[in-house]
Amino acid sequence: MRNVWIIAGREFRLYFISPVAYTVAAMVLLILGGIFAVNIYYGVVSGQVNPDGRMVMGPLVTILLFATPALTMRAVADEQRMGTIELLLTSPVRDWEMVVGKWLGAMGFMLLIVAVTWVYPLILNRLTSPGIDQGTLVSAYLGLVVMVGAMVAIGILISSLFSNPVPAFFVTLAVLLGLWIIGGFASGSGSGSEVIRYLSFVDHYYSRLYRGILDLGDVIYYLSLTVLALFLGSQAVEARRWR
C-alpha cells in the first residue's frame, strides 16, 4: 500500500508541472465561472433560475466529462511512450499498485479543482436569503466525487491500453460520452431499458444524488465501476508484459 501512496504522490505533483493540467484546470474554472455569472445576472435576477447548488453542479459535471480525459490521458500511456514504464515495472511494485497510485494522484488533482468550485455555492449562499439548501449541496458534491472517481478510473484504464496519450484522450472521451448518452435509449419500461438505465452514468447522478437524495445504490454503482476499471487497468498493464 505504501507504493500506492508514493506513486500517487509523484503523479499528483506531476500535475503541477504539467501545462496540460494547468490549462485544463483553468478552462474548467473559467467556463464554470462564466456560466455562473450568466446564470446570476440573467437567470436568478429575472427569476427564471432557482438559486441552489445545482446551478453550479449541473454545468460542472458536464465540463468535467470533457476535462477528465485530458487529465488522465498521459497517466500510463506516456510512461509507455517514453519507456519509463520499464523501470517502474522492474522495481518491486505490483501492477495494481501502480494503477491505483496513478488513479489516486489524478483524483487528488481533480478533487482540488472540484474543491475550488465550492466558492460558487458560498457566493450563492451570501446572495440569497435565507441561503441555499445545504443538504442538496452536500449530496450533489458527494455524488460528484464518486462519479469523478469512476470517470478518472475509466480514464486510467484506457490510458493503460495505449502507448500514446492522444488516442487515449479520444477513446476516454468516447467511452464517457457513451456512458452519458446511453440513458437516452432507455425510453420504455422493459427489462432492457432497466439494464441500460442502470448502466447510465447520468441516471444515477441526476435522478437522486443531484436532487439531494442520497441513495446507497447510486454510490455503490460508481464505486463498483471505479473498482472494475482499476482492476481491468491492472490486467491491461500485466497483459502488456506478456506481449
Supply the DSSP symbol for 208: T
**Least CB distance from residue 20 to other proteins, whole Å?**
12
Instruction: Please report, as ranges, the residues that interact with other proteins according to CB under 8 A.
Output: 2-3, 6-7, 10, 14, 17, 82-94, 241-243
**Least CB distance from residue 104 to other proteins, whole Å?**
15
Give the dihedral of Cα atoms 76, 79, 82, 87; nearest 10 deg: -150
Q: Give the H or E element holding residue 225.
A: helix 216-242
Of the two residues 117 and 163, which places its CB atom closer to other proteins in the complex?
163
Cα–Cα distance for residue pair 227/106, rounded to 1 Å: 15
**Least CB distance from residue 198 to other proteins, whole Å?**
38
* Cell numbers at 133, concatenated: 439548501
Among residues 10, 154, 6, 169, the alpha carbon closest in space to that of 74 is found at 169
Three-state SS for 91-105 is CCCCHHHHHHHHHHH
Of the two residues 83 and 130, which places its CB atom closer to other proteins in the complex?
83
**Least CB distance from residue 238 to other proteins, whole Å?**
10
**Least CB distance from residue 159 to other proteins, whole Å?**
17
DSSP secondary structure, 127-171, as one string = HSSS---HHHHHHHHHHHHHHHHHHHHHHHHHHTT-SSHHHHHHH
* Cell numbers at 160, concatenated: 493503460
**Least CB distance from residue 240 to other proteins, whole Å?**
8
